[in-house]
Structure 1
């Protein structure tokens, strides 16, 4: 795959999770202030806040669902097939303690860094390109969901 396109994909994935680059020179699709990606939005959120139910789900469940989807994507990129997944289970988190909340966030960061590394090393084909782009779109969608949940509280 063209190096320019790979770099563009990585830029969009980074913006989804880290927000726009610092110093901020604008944004492709998130808010243009620093820390407007998933990690910045979650930064400083307590386990009590992460356990708040908004419109039938918690911030912890949203976050773990993003992690779970990326884990599946990373499995496909590494092994060429999707691991066995239970999508319903990814939404079952109703409350977390400090340790569980940290584990969810650390797991998300791990899957994010694994995805970024994979983007540079996979043998690109149409299926893998679709998988990476769907992971980007899925994560961006849930960033919007989390931001809307924050408005409700």
Structure 2
């Protein structure tokens, strides 16, 4: 059962970040680059800095990175690190260098998450953390994709 749960989580997280595998989609669009990475890569730093309803895509991306970082610490150490959630939303204006750093940081935490999922000793608490991270990331992907419609119109 644990192997089945682990593989399901990894499949869904991969769809969230990489987009569908080509065999259809569970919840993202069924086209290439519809996951987090493909969505962010199509944006310039200026576009990622445009505020939509008080927040920017850059802030959503970095907040998702921050959440994944926290999850990765929990999966490794079994306890939540000290986290300042307000700080994770303070990004507004980014230049190309900072925008690339945010995307690279998000990719790093994603890869680390997949590695942790393979390495942990599964229990109910860690299962909830992994599933919460999936839900949280999928929520922010949806928010970013809706913001993108406003920015690109």
CA distance in 2, matches of 1:2, 1:127: 13
Structure 1: segments with no counterpart, 5+ residues? none
2-structure distance, mates of 1:135, 1:76 = 11
What do residues 63-122 of structure 1 show as CA deviations (whole Å, max 9, x unaligned)? 000000000000101111111001011000111111111111100000000000011110
Alignment match, 1:60: 58
Counterpart-to-counterpart distance in 2, 1:129 and 1:101:
31
Whole-angstrom distance in 1 between the partners of 2:149 and 2:116: 34
State how far apart, in whole Å, the 2-side matches of 1:116 and 1:94 are: 29
> 1:139-150 alignment to 2 at 5 Å?
139-150=137-148
Partner of 2:37: 39
Partners of 1:98 and 1:137 in 2: CA distance: 29
Tell me which residue corresponds to 2:17. 17
Give matches, 1:27-106, under 5 Å: 27-106=25-104
Q: Residues 61 and 106 of structure 2 are in contact (CA less than 8 Å); yes or no, is this contact kept in structure 1? A: yes
Q: CA RMSD in A?
A: 0.8
Give the C-alpha shift of residue 136 in structure 1: 0.2
Shift of 1:25: 2.1
User: d(CA) in 2 for partners of 1:133 and 1:111?
Assistant: 15
Q: Which runs of 5+ in 2 are unaligned?
A: none
For the residue of structure 1 that corresponds to 2:113, the secondary structure is helix
Task: Identify the range of structure 1 (35-44 vs 139-148) with the bigger mean alpha-carbon deviation.
Answer: 35-44
CA drift of 1:2 comes to: 2.2
Structure 1 runs of 4+ aligned residues shifted over 2 Å read: none
